[in-house]
Amino acid sequence: MSERRNAVNKSKIEWCDHTWNPITGCRHNCSYCYAKRMTARFAGDVRLNLMAKKDYSTEPAADNSENVFILDKPMLNETGNTLVYPFGFEPTYHKYRMDYPEKLKMGNNIFVGAMADIFGKWVPGEWIRDVMETCLDNPIHNYLFLTKNPERYTEVGVPAGLENMWYGTTITCDADADRFNYLPAGCNTFVSIEPLMGDIVSKHNVMFRQVDWIIIGAETGRNKNKIVPELQWIKDIVVKADYNSVPVFMKDSLIPIVGEENMRREFPKQLQHSEISPKLKAKLFDGCASCKAHLRKSEMITLLARSKRGEQPKQFGFMCRDCFKEFCKDLGLDIPELIGLAESVTIGPGDEDE
């Protein structure tokens, strides 16, 4: 399995486009954690990996617990294949993955740290700041963070007031629902209520006035039948969200409970559109030679020229379709019968009679 497929994945998580895992591992020890189960499949022999001390370094954890790991380059097994999680679910900083957002040319909704709690109390602040700096350097993407330790958002000083930065916290039941109070002010915030294990509405109505998005999901995998959310719990969340105009995204795990016809898959407006990298934008867009409007090249007429028969025509510019029509009229030329041109050209006053 290639390193790229695991560092930045086209995500199977319904509410994002990609996952990016510059930091992996977690010490919350949640019984329902899918990520911990997954790392066991791609860790290799952790005991042998730990013996390869020249391939990694360690540093103290932020909470003075056991040391955390640093990889400057991928660790390989004896056959030369990448070990995606060489230390299992122990916190690991994969420095070589920091350039992956730059490689995605179209803007995406990126879930940062799907295989970790990046804001866990053990994660060094420098790691978090490195991740944030990379996000700021690649602003075409929307970045979504999720933690069970939202106090650290403020503690490390995450960037505030940016439309493309989204800070969330995980809630499962009434006992931990107050985590939303620690989401940073002046930022886009959301809660992921997954797995939903109890009624959380009765004591936490204020949450629905403070967050910008709510995600709801049930337990999955081997434990999916241990705690099945009651339909009324879900209804109560949706009613409160609707009252406060907060979009709701239901994960597919709720289909057996609410029915496909009642599923809500709503996104905040900021997460509904894609930006384009400057490099790709230069390839896809150009200015009209006449009116200077900046449009997609595919929506304009390509201007070509050659000086003699047999010479390969040279492209020298573009012209929007309305300007091209006027250009032809001014020179007394017939408008070429190009595919899509006739229906796209704007007819000016009096043109119908010509």
- Residue 154 and residue 282 share a domain: no
- Residue 15 and residue 152 share a domain: yes
Average pLDDT of span 323-340: 83
Higher pLDDT, 201 or 235: 235
User: Does residue 15 belong to any structural domain of this protein?
Assistant: yes
User: Does residue 173 belong to any structural domain of this protein?
Assistant: no
Higher pLDDT, 282 or 190: 190
pLDDT above 70 for 314 = yes
- What are the Cα distances from residue 142, in Å, to 81, 109, 119, 139, 219? 31, 5, 18, 7, 26
Residue 30 confidence class, pLDDT cut points 50, 70, 90: confident
The 3-state DSSP class for residue 158 equals coil
Q: Of 159, 182, 206, which residue sits at a domain end?
A: 159
Q: Which domain holds residue 103?
A: 3-159
Hey, what's the torsion of the CAs at 170, 69, 46, 19, to 10 degrees?
40
Q: Of 98, 133, 159, which residue sits at a domain end?
A: 159
The 3-state DSSP class for residue 227 equals coil
pLDDT above 60 for 351 = no
- Residue 288 and residue 149 share a domain: no
pTM here? 0.78
Q: What is the pLDDT of residue 344?
A: 43
Q: Which residues contact 325 (CB under 8 A, 6 or more apart)?
A: 335, 345, 346
* Structure token pair of residue 116: 């970790």
Higher pLDDT, 11 or 148: 148
Q: What is the pLDDT of residue 345?
A: 40
- Residue 147 and residue 9 share a domain: yes
- Residue 149 and residue 296 share a domain: no
pLDDT above 70 for 353 = no
**299/185 Cα distance (integer angstroms):** 42
Which residues on neighbouring strands pair with residue 75, listed in sequence order?
Answer: 83
User: Does residue 327 belong to any structural domain of this protein?
Assistant: yes
Most confident of 44-48, 153-157, 172-176, 327-331: 153-157
User: Does residue 225 belong to any structural domain of this protein?
Assistant: no
Q: What is the pLDDT of residue 2?
A: 42
Residue 203 confidence class, pLDDT cut points 50, 70, 90: low
- Residue 154 and residue 7 share a domain: yes
Q: Which residues contact 310 (CB under 8 A, 6 or more apart)?
A: none
Q: Which residues contact 67 (CB under 8 A, 6 or more apart)?
A: 58, 59, 60, 61
Average pLDDT of span 193-200: 92
- Residue 283 and residue 154 share a domain: no
User: Does residue 27 belong to any structural domain of this protein?
Assistant: yes
User: Does residue 217 belong to any structural domain of this protein?
Assistant: no
Q: What is the pLDDT of residue 311?
A: 87
User: Does residue 312 belong to any structural domain of this protein?
Assistant: yes
pLDDT above 90 for 341 = no
Domain total for the chain?
A: 2
- What are the Cα distances from residue 278, in Å, to 30, 102, 212? 41, 11, 29
User: Does residue 254 belong to any structural domain of this protein?
Assistant: no
- What are the Cα distances from residue 95, in Å, to 24, 41, 100, 108? 11, 22, 11, 21
- Residue 283 and residue 155 share a domain: no
Q: Of 123, 139, 159, which residue sits at a domain end?
A: 159
pLDDT tens-digit profile of 238-293?
Answer: 999 999 999 999 999 999 999 999 999 999 999 997 776 676 677 788 999 999 98
Closest CA to 71 of 44, 46, 53, 48: 53
pLDDT tens-digit profile of 101-150?
Answer: 999 888 999 999 999 999 999 999 999 999 999 999 999 999 999 999 99
